[in-house]
């Protein structure tokens, strides 16, 4: 892959499972370590540089904080796709404690990990009827104390925080905490998350507001629930950002049919990058773009 014009490179991330999506929603959602490894390789071959991991119990399918199960997933991914960059979730599930949420980062020291930026309603809803479904009674808790603790532990681990921004309050909170000397590894990296019920939807205007607020040297990516995955991705490719796709956020292909896997959405993102006149970055190129240390996941 050519290294010309590195500022024009685009990084694709693939979120393979998440905490909510199940095989009932899409049979291609991975549960076992083998399934995670196979899906991650397909995503890499399609152009992804990063995989975002919520490990699952291999039989029950529920999100897990079990370090042995997480290790099995990481081992399988790295054995099949050693150049992939690991991004571990620090959310895990709605019932995990703060200690359980940060333990995988402390243990495996991935190059990237999600850092959620606000306490919020976090649910699934039907926009045709206005009815709230899964998560109607849940609060996704991310207090300033939790955010600061997780940021400190990520810094110790050499892990770059990927700041998950669901609304304007989230980015303002992180910009406030960034005033503390040494709070976060610089430059910052933001992921703008669109369409969660409790956050804000994607519009070009909402994205422009976020971009006006972020530090000029910060990197940024987008992801979105359902069709907003594609809407945001198109805009990011044209505006110089990066794209996350995957079954965690959206179970369908751009056609509206069930996606064959996260890799099919990666293929879409690669086509979008090409149309926007951008080349894909993987491996060391992607690490440089996101200012990551060399791969050092502890397996």
Domain 6-289, CATH: 3.20.20.70
What Å distances lie between residue 96 and 21, 65, 93, 103, 209, CA to CA? 17, 7, 5, 11, 32
Query: Could you tell me how many helices (H) and strands (E) the chain has, helices first?
Result: 9, 14
Provide the pLDDT for residue 135.
Answer: 83
- Over residues 113-152, the pLDDT tens digits come to 999 999 999 988 888 899 998 888 889 999 999 999 999 9
Provide the pLDDT for residue 3.
Answer: 46
Regions of the chain with pLDDT less than 50: 1-3
Beta bridge pairs of residue 56: 63
pTM as predicted: 0.95
Angle formed at CA 193 by CA 223 and CA 86, multiple of 5 degrees: 60
Provide the pLDDT for residue 2.
Answer: 40
Beta bridge pairs of residue 199: 197
Both tokens of 259, joined, read 């996606």
């Amino acid at each position: 892959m050519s290294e010309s014009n590195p500022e024009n490179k685009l990084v694709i991330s693939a979120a393979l499972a998440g905490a909510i999506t199940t095989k009932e929603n899409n049979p291609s959602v991975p549960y076992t370590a083998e399934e995670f490894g196979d899906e991650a390789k397909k995503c890499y071959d399609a152009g992804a540089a990063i995989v975002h991991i919520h490990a699952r119990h291999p039989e029950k399918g529920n999100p897990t904080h079990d370090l042995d199960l997480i290790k099995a997933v990481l081992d399988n991914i790295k054995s099949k796709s050693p150049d992939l960059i690991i991004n571990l979730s620090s959310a895990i599930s709605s019932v995990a404690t703060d200690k359980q949420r940060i333990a995988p980062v402390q243990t495996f020291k991935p190059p990237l990990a999600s850092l959620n930026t606000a306490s919020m309603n976090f649910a699934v809803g039907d926009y045709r009827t206005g009815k709230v479904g899964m998560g109607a009674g849940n609060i996704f808790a991310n207090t300033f104390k939790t955010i600061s603790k997780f940021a400190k532990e990520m810094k110790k681990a050499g892990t770059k925080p990927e700041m998950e921004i669901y609304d304007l309050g989230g980015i303002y909170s992180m910009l406030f905490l960034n005033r503390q000397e040494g709070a976060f590894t610089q430059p910052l990296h933001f992921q703008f998350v669109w369409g969660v019920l409790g956050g804000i939807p994607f519009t070009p205007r909402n994205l422009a507001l976020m971009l006006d607020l972020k530090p000029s040297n910060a990197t940024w990516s987008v992801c979105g629930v359902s069709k907003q995955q594609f809407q945001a991705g198109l805009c990011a490719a044209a505006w110089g950002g990066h794209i996350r796709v995957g079954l965690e956020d959206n179970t369908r292909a751009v056609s509206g049919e069930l996606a064959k896997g996260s890799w099919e959405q990666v293929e879409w993102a690669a086509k979008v990058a090409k149309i926007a006149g951008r080349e894909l970055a993987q491996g060391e190129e992607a690490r440089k773009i996101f200012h990551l240390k060399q791969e050092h996941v502890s397996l």
